[in-house]
Structure 1
């Protein structure tokens, strides 16, 4: 495996008043030729939307779009007739397919909403649009890697609109989440690729530590505050993430392991993506 560390400070985005956002990949006015996508991943935006504001109705097509709620409330409406207000632990998946329109709004009178907006490229164009919603508690994610999203057809995945099953995605992507206590560790074992993989001998992994307490890497390392997550492989690769930081992992083989250990002082909220290369 090869690790490429990506500090939070190198992300794009900005403060637009109603929206504070960080972009892992090129998005909107932010362009980074070295970070335009990673496997099927096209967008990871860490968004904070002020009360009584949001994204007005806009179109999407040929993308799998999901929101992972960190705090606050996010209201969703779309052209398929879905109306939903999501809270912490909720995940909402929209399969854009041939085309949909939706809005994402913070209707709360006083609290901002903090969420990850994630886009992945589908494995097939022209799909029928779909909508799925799930809820995963903090307890389900405590000191473990909880599988949240997996390719349609994988074990434990259901096309039910809502329920307790893993959220379906029409893309070769697995998405896990963890709430990792200080001194706790979890190990991710790389899973087999999808049947349609063009490169079955290599997998991609991306890990990001969500900015929940506001401590960045340099402050956490200097003052010992906030979570710090040490990422290691058996091959000797190693890096440490502060909040907002990420690491791109290339060259993973099925069955190989990536270890995540919280060596900081606070609970860390971790998201891990695994994709076909």
Structure 2
């Protein structure tokens, strides 16, 4: 009989992710992304999580009107204002076209996240939620969750976000069999070696992994579990944590 570790980490390091510079758009792809001609068989999706694109969009530019199908799409804005328009007056959904652009003279840094729906061909809905820095400071703020919110989705995942101060630790009980953690690149766009903030992720049984900005990690759980994240750098670390059923 083989005793598997309670938690298993598989790193998704920044230098191994897809990267493209289109002048107006600078982007990193965690998963294969056909429209950017980035194909990685080993990184097609993770549970219901299909796309994490970390984008920097130049001022007064953006994604023109386009459509999607079979996905639930949400954006996590790190900095800068985003203008969103669609054919029903708000955002994307079945039979809907939409656009996303940097609003005014300020560039935008945000993450585009796509997940697979539990139920196909749902009626489109749109939600906007604002979380202040104070609401995310040294806590796991629940940003997206199935059912009633705070931003409700029809995908089997919950998204938490934090702004973790230097030297602080956070622990989160995880309900799903999988998780994904992403360290935000808040020190500015950079395609070289990861710099800036650094976090360490601890799982049950002494498993741990250190992540720098732009790094992520796939996480597998084999029984009841929780994760602890510690800021081991010299600046505030912004991180996203996905709890995936």
SS at match of 1:34: helix
Partner of 1:90: none
Deviation at 1:210, TM superposition (A): 0.3
Counterpart check, 1:46 vs 2:54: yes
- Alignment correspondent of 1:67: 75
Aligned to 2:228, which of 259, 262, 266?
Answer: 259
**Unaligned stretches of 5+ residues in structure 2:** 1-6
1:63-212 matches, within 5 Å, as 63-82=71-90, 96=93, 98-109=94-105, 111-152=106-147, 157-158=148-149, 166-191=150-175, 203-212=177-186
CA–CA distance in structure 2, aligned partners of residues 190 and 58 of structure 1:
35
* Displacement of 1:217: 9.5
| Structure 1 residue runs of 4 or more that deviate by more than 4 Å after TM superposition | 215-220
Distance 1:182 1:261, change over 3 A: same
Which gives a bigger RCO, structure 1 or 2 (Cα 8 Å, sep 6+)?
2
Residue deviations 1:64-102 (CA, integer Å, cap 9, x gap): 1001110111100011112xxxxxxxxxxx562x32100
- Whole-Å Cα distance in 2 between the matches of residues 10 and 116 of structure 1? 18
2:213 is the counterpart of 1:274: no
Classify 1:217/1:234 alpha carbon distance in 2 versus 1 (closer, same or farther; 3 Å).
farther
- Is the alpha carbon distance of 1:151 and 1:252 closer, same or farther for their aligned partners in structure 2, counting shifts above 3 Å? farther
Contact persistence 2:68–2:92 (CA under 8 A): no
3-state secondary structure, aligned to 1:17: coil
TM-score, normalized by length of structure 1? 0.82
Instruction: Give the RMSD, CA atoms, in angstroms.
Output: 1.6
Long gaps (5+) in structure 1: 83-93, 159-165, 194-202, 221-225
The alignment of Structure 1 onto Structure 2 pairs a total of residues equal to 236
SS at match of 1:139: helix
TM-score by length of 2: 0.92
